Amino acid sequence: MRHWISDWDNAYANGINIPQGDRWPAAWVEPAQQYREALSAEGRAKLGLVYGGKPRNRFDLFLPESRPAGLMVFVHGGFWIGLDNSYWSHFARGALERGYAVAMPSYTLAPESRIADITIEIGRAIEAAAEEVEGPIRLIGHSAGGQLVTRMISATSPLPETVRGRIANVVSLSGVHDLRPLMNTKMNEKQRIDRDEAYRESPALLEPMPNARVTCWVGAAERSEFVRQNALLASIWKGLGAETEAVEEPDKHHFNVLDGMTDPNHPLMEALFS
């Protein structure tokens, strides 16, 4: 059966296509704040650490109960035009309970920043977090954050070699790996993606760095474009020598697909820490 997309805005619209989807991202605010406050009370949270000169160049660092076994960095989504790191703090739980420190950066949003500039900012954030915590680094990003973390392990990564060499594994969670379709959406009035930037910043159009490992994880109940984008990177990078896997988690949509991050033994966490 032939299929084509006539409404690109709807193809990438999550909330209106999920029952009670308008609950998110507000549903994350309270649990995230409570978790931050609990870790702060235990002396296990360093909030607002600086990694650059712009107002949003900050990251929160959460620490496990004992000496960290390594570092996990979570990069949030929001189509590069919305949200910040404060919505997601409670999703650090699974990694913390596995003994890893967790860094969660914010970044300068479009249209103030181009996606290429956000890429550089995330590279600096990871580098700054890596200076705080020794050991292997594992990256996970959601939606737009999936593009940003896989961009970190592309051949044109902004990360220095010393940090690249510490990256043990990456998970792109509902990631957007080819930016060209987004040029057809109204969101692009703020994103300002053009053809040149799409080719420079789309992981699916780039080569992976040597020894790259990535799991592309998506909810099986997500919009078909996110399912397609998920399979796309895993397929292309496998053909370019990377170790890849594509997973469609049953009964999960674009928002509750994150829930596995709160459970140290969830298959999502097993994939990241394999």
Q: Answer for the pair 184, 132: CB distance below 8 angstroms, yes or no.
A: no
Please report which helix (H) or strand (E) contains residue 131, including its range: helix 115-132
User: Tell me, what CATH number does 116's domain have?
Assistant: 3.40.50.1820
Q: What is the pLDDT of residue 1?
A: 63
Total number of domains constituting the chain = 1
**Nearby residues of 178 by Cβ (< 8 Å), 6 or more positions away:** 198, 202, 204, 205, 229, 232
Residue 208 in domain = yes
The residue type of 41 is A
Q: What is the pLDDT of residue 89?
A: 98
Tell me: pLDDT of 17 over 90: no
Residue 98 in domain = yes
Region label for 99, one of left (φ > 0), alpha (ψ between -120 and 50) or beta (otherwise): left
CA angle 133, 109, 158 (to 5 degrees): 45
Tell me: pLDDT of 6 over 90: no
Residue 53 in domain = yes
Coil, strand, or helix at residue 167? strand
pLDDT digits (tens, 9 = 90+) for 203-229: 999 999 999 999 999 999 999 999 999
Residue 2 in domain = no
Coil, strand, or helix at residue 142? strand
Q: Answer for the pair 101, 131: CB distance below 8 angstroms, yes or no.
A: no
What is the arithmetic mean of pLDDT over 17-45? 92
Residue 198 in domain = yes
What is the arithmetic mean of pLDDT over 4-28? 86
pLDDT digits (tens, 9 = 90+) for 236-262: 999 999 999 999 999 999 999 999 999
Residue 230 in domain = yes
pLDDT digits (tens, 9 = 90+) for 64-120: 999 999 999 999 999 999 999 999 999 999 999 999 999 999 999 999 999 999 999
Percentage of residues in the chain with pLDDT exceeding 90?
A: 92
Q: Which of 10-19, 102-111, 225-234 has the lowest mean pLDDT?
A: 10-19
Measuring CA to CA, which residue among 146, 171, 148 is closest to residue 226?
146
Residue 122 in domain = yes
Domain of 28, in residue numbers: 8-272
Measuring CA to CA, which residue among 148, 197, 140 is closest to residue 172?
140
Mean pLDDT estimate for the chain: 96
Residue 151 in domain = yes
7 compared with 179, residue with greater pLDDT = 179
Please report which helix (H) or strand (E) contains residue 11, including its range: helix 8-11
Tell me: pLDDT of 156 over 70: yes
Tell me: pLDDT of 18 over 90: no
The residue type of 237 is W
Region label for 267, one of left (φ > 0), alpha (ψ between -120 and 50) or beta (otherwise): alpha
**E-assigned strands of the chain?**
45-50, 58-62, 71-75, 101-105, 137-142, 167-173, 213-219, 243-249
What is the arithmetic mean of pLDDT over 124-132? 98
Tell me: pLDDT of 158 over 90: yes
Paired tokens of 130: 């890596």
Distance between CA atoms of 111 and 209, rounded to whole angstroms? 29
Percentage of residues in the chain with pLDDT exceeding 70?
A: 100
Beta bridge partners, 102, equal: 62, 72
Q: What is the pLDDT of residue 3?
A: 72
Q: What is the pLDDT of residue 23?
A: 85
Place 22 in a pLDDT band, splitting at 50, 70 and 90. Answer: confident
Q: Answer for the pair 242, 213: CB distance below 8 angstroms, yes or no.
A: yes
What is the arithmetic mean of pLDDT over 159-169? 97
